Amino acid sequence: MISPEEEKFFSQWEVQRTLPHYKRSAFLRGLSLSLLVGLLVLVFSELGWYERANMQANSWGNEIWILIAIVAASFGFAYLYQQFTTEMNEQRFIELKQIKNKK
């Protein structure tokens, strides 16, 4: 009872699972999402939306450190998102393989 879409995924992932797990598209998708969140944090801090947090951020010193922290967190999130998508695809592959073996 496998749909054509699942069959296409199964054959595609059967080849891709032997390759290294670095997937550029998943990494870039995670990086763009996390940089967007970091940009929203910067916009809210510059608008003075939360005055106490803004005072605290300005007292720490240079805004370069805030940018470095956002970029570092973004790359970390992108790596985790890449690993997450790989694991989810592997889990889906194993489930489809079990369904095919039952037939």
3-state SS track over 76-96: HHHHHHHHHHHHHHHHHHHHH
**Token pair in block for residue 91:** 């889990």
Give the pLDDT of residue 60.
Answer: 61
Q: Where are the domains of the chain?
A: 24-102
In the block, which residue shows the tokens 């598209």? 25
Q: List all residues 6 or more positions away from 59 whose beta carbon is below 8 Å from its beta carbon.
A: none
**Token pair in block for residue 19:** 């390759």
Ranges under pLDDT 50 in the chain: none
